Chains A and B, each alone.
Chain A
């Protein structure tokens, strides 16, 4: 291919060159990613003798923790694809947790999901009113909604839950969904046997399969349907195309007769509903299903981080949510040795990434990654365990590292956070 830019040598690196290779289809990327993650975890668990890393218990914990983050991240995608930064997801999620506990107390688990979503959507509506109608800075409005969401949830909790539980910080326990077995009993038992046998690779695979498919909660099914549904609505329907056009170039969208305000209102309200739903799933997924003050623990922000991690797209966001969920799950169900073994895994992953970059002739990145791999391995080698206070923040550190390496390749919607007034385009 005669590429005139190629002759420019070094300066060509400043120009975003068209991808020379044909891009892999999304499903292939997903399969490769899953195999790679499973491979690294398996190698780590075998070489460091930590079968816990791929155990079914940790895997089902991962799902429990990843679901709320995924739903909040999905909310973030809805809002930001329409061009509205939504840092108020945390506040909307808090509203959702309260709403879910109240709805669940009155009408059971389905009621919990519905009221959770409605409360979150109300928060989203406030955000839409402030940012779309009044043109307030998106981040400022979001910060205010976070304050407001926490305050309202606490106020309502004092008003309604305190008379029942004698404690303003907790709601009564609400009914949960019954989870069901997907695998036939015999197969589940043999998988469990295989997992216990500790034969390499097979046991790891058995643990993962049993963790994901052993007990299925309706929450998982609903969340996956919403994820897939959102993808189809946003990327495969005229409605979604219009909505995303508001996030890329609202003035152009307006010139084509799209009512940008209405699309933004819809998108932000749905975004709030997803955040509220994330709160509801958090409440329903807990061992004791109930609202507790401070339950979200910044998961709204984490959902936002997962969205950015996934480059504002559902598949990548799911991977981000999985990462956070795994770290949370390991933190809860694992031992400090297992977490320490993750350092070993991180070293392997960084090493593999270095080889990959070398293969793609990106020597500088490869050298950098190799240095990271060596540093992490050295840390693994000299320490016996990691301080437990820091371990729970692994996902945050990973996010920072990912942002540092990938921020330039991320592409947010072009008009994300840009104020838009009808009829003022140039």
Chain B
């Protein structure tokens, strides 16, 4: 058990160390002191609302990474999460502000609409992939751009939006659709929907590890032909995985919107989709890995502000995120090769020993 844990931790630890080293080099080249920079990054956690902000972002990143991971299991690279969550958010807010429902039901419906809209935006790439053979990376890249245009169009004052000052936004959600959080005073407010992220993570863990569907998804992703021989249609799996990925993606913006913003504005936070892909890679699509990956990502993101205070360009944190992703995938590859080489050696040793034994036996038999 412990040996297994250590062996699965080798790659990420190696990668984070490599990233730290590379970023230290970058800092030294640019005449900054890496120790004070990293010190500031760690020190900020205890200041103001940092810890709570990190927790909130972790929740959001977890949802995004799980959306990506569902696709990865089926060998689908859903680059379109970015567009799916944008469409999910704008449609959910528009619908949510147009209807009135009592309390709990209201925000549940908003969440449902967000999921449906996200899935709908993923449906076209899924359809194009299975019927026309269009690679999902290309179609979703296009869908991302179109989503940006569609969202901007939908919040036009003469469509579904309104003008506040000079910036466009949707109508505000009525209070019954808000999800209140845990107010910690000076420390900030934990989004209520952090629990949603936890639920998504547990659901994902249960689905992948404990259900027949999860097994079928993994099997089909590993080898579509072998799975087909076992009665699992890869076409069906592609469509389901893509729709699920889109549905989860639709939820990404919900903690922020239902917990804090209550509207969809032009300044909608972007980039969670790409971060989610990076985190899913760091965490190897494993629920626990994703939780820690999200935490690391959120920490790095938040530490950007602290870096300004010590006069280090904050982008060093972005570079660190990119380096970690690249280093993690490389490290996993190296560890895999080392393991394989070790296995080959041990098999070779055993084979040699067995040959020796049989040779001895033969020699004994001849005597």
Give me the interface of A with B, judged by CB distance under 8 Å: 87, 126, 130, 134-137, 139-141, 143-152, 154-155, 158-159, 168, 298, 301, 304-305, 308, 387, 389-390, 392-393, 396-397, 399-400, 403-405, 407-408
A127, closest chain B residue (CB): B326
Q: Smallest CB–CB gap between B150 and chain A, Å?
A: 7
B119-173 residues at the A interface, CB under 8 angstroms: 124, 128, 132-135, 137-139, 141-146, 148-150, 152-153, 156
Q: Which of B92-100, B109-117, B310-318 contacts A (4 or more CB under 8 A)?
A: B310-318
Binds A, one of B47-55, B205-213, B255-263, B274-282: B274-282
CB distance from A90 to the nearest CB of B (A): 9
B32, chain A: closest CB distance, angstroms: 9
A301 to B139, CA, bound (A): 11
* Contact between B334 and A134, CB atoms less than 8 A apart: yes
B128 close to A400 (CB less than 8 A): yes
Option from B124, B318, B323, B333 in Cβ contact (under 8 Å) with A150: B318
The 10 closest A-B pairs by CB, nearest first: A148-B322, A151-B318, A155-B315, A147-B322, A158-B313, A144-B326, A389-B152, A389-B153, A393-B149, A154-B315
Given A148-B319, A159-B30: A135 touches B139 (CB 8 Å cut-off): no
A31 → B minimal CB distance (Å): 29
- Please tell me if the beta carbons of B133 and A407 are within 8 angstroms of each other in the complex: yes
Known: A404-B128, A408-B132. A148 touches B323 (CB 8 A): yes
B132 touches A404 (CB 8 A): yes
Q: Is the CB of B30 within 8 A of A147?
A: no
A-side contacts of B141, CB under 8 Å: 298, 301, 304-305
Interface centre among B135, B153, B314, B322 (most CB of A within 10 A): B322
Query: Which residue of the partner chain B has the closest CB to A149?
Result: B322
If A135-B333, A158-B315, A399-B142 are given as contacts, then 19 extra A-B residue pairs at C-beta distance below 8 Å, sorted by A number, are: A130-B326, A136-B326, A140-B281, A143-B274, A148-B326, A149-B322, A150-B322, A151-B322, A155-B26, A304-B141, A305-B141, A387-B156, A389-B156, A390-B149, A390-B153, A393-B145, A400-B143, A407-B128, A408-B132
B325 and A136: CB pair below 8 A?
A: no
Bound-state Cα–Cα, A399 to B334, Å? 38
CB distance from A150 to the nearest CB of B (A): 7
A145 touches B326 (CB 8 A): yes
Contact of B274 among A139, A140, A145, A146 (CB under 8 A): A146
Residues of B within 8 A of A396 (CB): 142, 145-146
Interchain CB contact under 8 A, B330 and A130: yes
Judge whether B239 is part of the interface by a CB distance below 8 angstroms.
Answer: no
Cross-interface CB contact of B321 among A151, A305, A387, cutoff 8 Å: A151
Measured CB to CB, the nearest residue on chain A to B321 is A147
Q: Shortest beta-carbon distance, B241 to chain A, in Å? A: 16
The 9 sampled A-B contact pairs (Cβ below 8 Å) are A130-B326, A135-B333, A139-B137, A144-B325, A145-B326, A147-B321, A151-B322, A154-B318, A399-B142
**Chain B residue with Cβ nearest A405:** B132
Measured between beta carbons, the chain A residues less than 8 angstroms from B321 are 147, 151
Residue of B nearest to A148 (CB): B322
Contact B138–A305 (Cβ < 8 Å): yes
Please name all residues of chain B whose beta carbon is closer than 8 Å to the beta carbon of A126 when the two chains form the complex: 326
Q: Are A407 and B134 in contact (CB under 8 A)?
A: yes
**A155–B319 CB distance below 8 A:** yes
Residues B330 and A136 in contact, CB atoms below 8 Å apart: yes
Known contacts A147-B274, A148-B319, A301-B141; A390/B334 CB under 8 A:
no
Q: Which residues of B contact A152 (CB under 8 A)?
A: 315, 319, 322
Give A149 to B142 CA distance when docked, in angstroms.
21
CA distance A139 to B146 in the complex (A): 22
**A137 contacts B329, CB within 8 Å?**
yes
Q: Is the beta-carbon distance between A130 and B329 smaller than 8 angstroms?
A: yes
Residues on B with C-beta less than 8 A from A144 are 278, 281, 322, 325-326, 329
Q: How far is the CA of A301 from the CA of B277 in the complex (A)?
A: 17
- CB of B330 within 8 A of CB of A403, answer no
Residues from chain A with Cβ under 8 Å of B132 in the complex: 403-405, 407-408
Which chain B residues lie closer than 8 Å to A145 at the CB level?
A: 322, 326
Report how far A155 CA is from B329 CA in the complex, Å: 23
Interface flag for B67 (CB, 8 Å)? no
Known: A158-B315, A304-B138, A390-B153. A143 touches B145 (CB 8 A): no
CA–CA, A403 to B138, complex, Å?
Answer: 9
User: Which residues of chain B in 189-241 are interfacial with respect to chain A, using CB atoms and an 8 Å cutoff?
Assistant: none
Chain B residues with CB under 8 Å of A407's CB are: 128, 132-135
Expressed in whole angstroms, the minimum distance between the Cβ of B207 and any Cβ of chain A is 23
Q: Is B91 close to A, CB under 8 A? A: no
B243 within 8 A of A: no
Please encode chain B, from 324 to 336, with 1 for each CB lying within 8 Å of some chain A CB and 0 for all others. Answer: 0110011001100
Chain A residues whose CB sits within 8 angstroms of the CB of B319 once the complex forms: 148, 151-152, 155
Complex Cα–Cα for A130 and B314 (A): 26
Contact of B77 with A by CB under 8 A: yes
Docked complex: B282-309 residues within 8 A CB-CB of A: none
Q: List residues of chain A with CB within 8 A of the CB of B138.
A: 304-305, 308, 399, 403
With A150-B318, A389-B156 as given contacts, are A143 and B142 in contact (CB-CB < 8 Å)?
no
Least distance between A61 CB and chain B CB atoms (Å): 20
Q: In the complex the two chains form, is B315's CB within 8 Å of A393's CB? A: no
Q: Is the CB of B149 within 8 A of A389?
A: yes
Which residue of chain B is the closest to A412 with respect to CB atoms? B135
Determine whether the beta carbon of B322 is less than 8 Å from that of A305.
no
A147 near B142: Cβ-Cβ < 8 Å: no
Q: How far is the CB of A96 from chain B (nearest CB, A)?
A: 17
Closest residue on chain B to residue A129 by CB atoms: B330
Contacts of B156 in A (CB 8 A): 387, 389
Which of A145, A150, A168 has the most CB atoms of chain B within a 10 A radius of its CB?
A150
Set of chain B residues within 8 Å of A387, measured between Cβ atoms: 153, 156
**B329 shortest CB reach to chain A, Å:** 5
**A297 to B: closest C-beta gap in Å:** 9
A408 vs B149: C-alpha distance when bound (angstroms): 28
- Taking a contact as CB atoms under 8 Å apart, the answer to whether B322 and A155 are in contact is no
A403 touches B145 (CB 8 A): no
Asked if B137 and A87 sit within 8 Å, CB to CB, the answer is: yes
Chain B's nearest CB lies how many Å from the CB of A127?
10
Whole-angstrom CA separation of A396 from B132 in the bound complex: 17
* Chain A positions within 8 Å of B143 at CB level: 400
**CB <8 Å contact, B134 and A403:** yes
A411 to chain B, nearest CB (A): 11
CA of A223 to CA of B151, assembled, Å: 36
A147 touches B330 (CB 8 A): no
For A135, the chain B residues whose CB sits under 8 A away are 333
In whole angstroms, how far apart are the Cα atoms of A404 and B129 in the complex? 9
CA distance in complex: A298, B315 (Å): 20
> How many Å lie between the Cα of A404 and that of B281 in the bound state?
29
Distance (Å) between the CB of B226 and the closest chain A CB? 18
Q: Are B333 and A136 in contact (CB under 8 A)?
A: yes
